[in-house]
Amino acid sequence: MLCDEKWIFDLAVLVDITSHLNDLNLKLQGKDKLFPSLVNDISAFKMKLKLFISQLENKELSEFPHLKEQSECAEDNTIFTEYFGKIILLQEAIDSRFSDFAEKDCMLAFLIPFSLTENNILKMPSIIQMELIDLRANSVLKSKFNELPSLPSASERLNFWRSLPGEHFPELRKFAQSYTCRFEITYRCQQAFLSMKTIKNKLRSRLSDSNLNPLALSY
């Protein structure tokens, strides 16, 4: 099998693509990742897939180091052109898996609410349009938003949305919450199960609700 040049090429491409997928996977992890940043990561990866196809067409393999290494010593270095279709299939799978990520217009209301134009507001869900107009006209809240750093952290952005008076902006607060809880719940569940796995081991024989609760709270 190791003497089969085609098999070696297939393995090299698989290693290179898996490396890029692992990089994407790491970017999507973490409790402080907000939904808009995840959308940006996925959008960037989609563009990278187009770049990969272009590079393969032009025999430029800078993003395929293992394939490049094998092609330099191979008798037939044109065999990798058949991998175009594989990357296209990966593109289609990403588009299908992350079809709900096509929310660029609505994300603007979450990221830059005071920079929205009238046309932007008209593209928003009707239930928040009136409150967006009121928000834009609120100089106090605008000043508070402008005090945020140019690249605010997740907690800083969330603190702004939490500061909106619930009696005046109930729908906008719900709208913001819909962006802050996506993926975070799944991440929290995974972390909780990992914590429980650490807590409930053979070295701890006396486990009950009373002593598990403090341990869970410490997490």
Clarify whether residues 95 and 9 are in a common domain: yes
Encoded amino acid at 88, one letter:
I
Given this model, what pLDDT does residue 196 score?
Answer: 65
CA distances from 178 to 9, 39, 60, 70, 145 (A): 44, 14, 42, 47, 19
Whether residue 185 lies inside any domain: the answer is: no
Clarify whether residues 90 and 43 are in a common domain: yes
Rounded distance between C-alpha atoms, residue 78 and residue 185, angstroms:
46
Whether the Cβ atoms of residue 49 and residue 87 lie closer than 8 Å to each other: yes
34 Cβ neighbours under 8 A, 6+ residues apart: 154, 157, 158, 179, 180
Clarify whether residues 65 and 88 are in a common domain: yes
Q: Give me the phi and psi of 148, to 5 degrees please.
A: -65, 150
Q: Which domain holds residue 169?
A: 105-180
Question: In 3D, which of 161, 177, 176, 172 has the Cα closest to residue 131?
Answer: 172
Encoded amino acid at 22, one letter:
N
Clarify whether residues 96 and 116 are in a common domain: no
Whether the Cβ atoms of residue 181 and residue 165 lie closer than 8 Å to each other: no
Q: What are the start-end ranges of the H helices in the chain? A: 5-27, 35-57, 65-72, 84-97, 104-111, 118-122, 126-136, 139-146, 154-162, 170-180, 184-199, 209-218
Clarify whether residues 45 and 124 are in a common domain: no
Given this model, what pLDDT does residue 164 score?
Answer: 93
Q: Give me the phi and psi of 28, to 5 degrees please.
A: -85, -5
Distance separating the N- and C-terminal Cα atoms of the chain: 49
Given this model, what pLDDT does residue 132 score?
Answer: 94
Rounded distance between C-alpha atoms, residue 109 and residue 119, angstroms:
12
Write out the chain's pLDDT in tens, 219 residues: 556 778 888 888 899 999 999 998 888 776 667 777 788 888 899 999 999 988 888 888 889 888 888 877 665 555 667 788 889 899 999 888 877 666 667 888 888 899 998 898 998 989 999 999 999 999 999 999 999 888 888 788 888 999 999 899 999 999 888 877 665 545 556 666 666 666 666 555 555 666 666 655 554
How many domains are there within the chain?
2
Whether residue 186 lies inside any domain: the answer is: no
Clarify whether residues 92 and 123 are in a common domain: no
Given this model, what pLDDT does residue 25 score?
Answer: 85
Rounded distance between C-alpha atoms, residue 99 and residue 109, angstroms:
20
Whether the Cβ atoms of residue 148 and residue 156 lie closer than 8 Å to each other: yes
Clarify whether residues 9 and 95 are in a common domain: yes
